[in-house]
A = this chain, B = another copy of it.
Amino acid sequence: MAIRDLDELRLAVIGIGYVGLPLLVEFAKKREIVGYDVSKSRVRSLQQGRDENGEVKSIPQNIKKNIHFTDSEDDLSDANTYIITVPTPVDDFRKPDLSFVIAATKTVAKFINTGDLIIYESTVYPGVTEQVCAPIIEKISGKKYLIADEDDRGFYLGYSPERLSPGDTSKGVADIVKVTSGSTPKIANLIDSLYASISNVGTYKSPSISVAEAAKVIENTQRDVNIAFMNELSIIFNEIGIDTQEVIKAAQTKWNFLPFSPGLVGGHCIGVDPYYLAHLGIQKGHRPDILLAARNVNESMGKRIVDRVTQLMIQKGIGFPGANILILGLTFKENCKDTRNSKVFEIIREFTKLRCNINVFDPFVGSSSQEKVCPAKIIDELGDEKYDAIVLTVAHTYFKDMGIDALKTIAKKPSVIYDVKSIFPRHSVDGRL
Contacts and interface: CB of A to CB of B under 8 A. Distances in A.
A373 interface: no
Q: Is the interface of A mostly helix, strand, loop or mixed?
A: helix
A239 B127 CA distance: 12
Given A163-B254, A223-B256, A229-B291, A243 B179 contact: no
A26 interface: no
A211 B243 contact: yes
Interface of A: 126-127, 163, 171, 176-177, 179, 204, 206-208, 210-212, 214-216, 218-219, 221-223, 225-226, 228-229, 232-233, 235-237, 239-240, 242-243, 246-248, 250-251, 253-258, 277, 280-281, 284-286, 288-294, 296-297
A218 B290 contact: no
A246 to B, nearest CB: 5
24 contacts: A126-B237, A177-B253, A179-B250, A204-B250, A204-B253, A206-B246, A207-B246, A208-B242, A211-B247, A211-B250, A219-B251, A221-B229, A222-B226, A222-B229, A225-B225, A225-B229, A225-B290, A228-B290, A232-B290, A235-B288, A236-B277, A239-B286, A258-B258, A289-B296
A257 B215 CA distance: 10
A172 to B, nearest CB: 13
A206 B252 CA distance: 12
A204 to B, nearest CB: 4
A121 B225 CA distance: 29
Nearest to A165: B256
Contacts of A250: 179, 204, 206, 211-212, 214-215
B242 A214 contact: yes
Nearest to A211: B246
A353 to B, nearest CB: 22
Given A210-B240, A223-B256, A235-B286, A247 B280 contact: no
A286 B219 contact: no
A286 B236 contact: yes
A289 B281 CA distance: 18
Given A229-B290, A257-B222, A251 B215 contact: yes
Contacts of A251: 215-216, 218-219, 222
A289 B285 CA distance: 20
Nearest to A224: B229
A297 B221 CA distance: 17
A212 B210 CA distance: 44
B222 A258 contact: yes
Contacts of A243: 211
Given A229-B222, A235-B286, A289-B297, A242 B281 contact: no
B218 A176 contact: no
A259 to B, nearest CB: 10
A285 B257 CA distance: 27
A419 B177 CA distance: 30
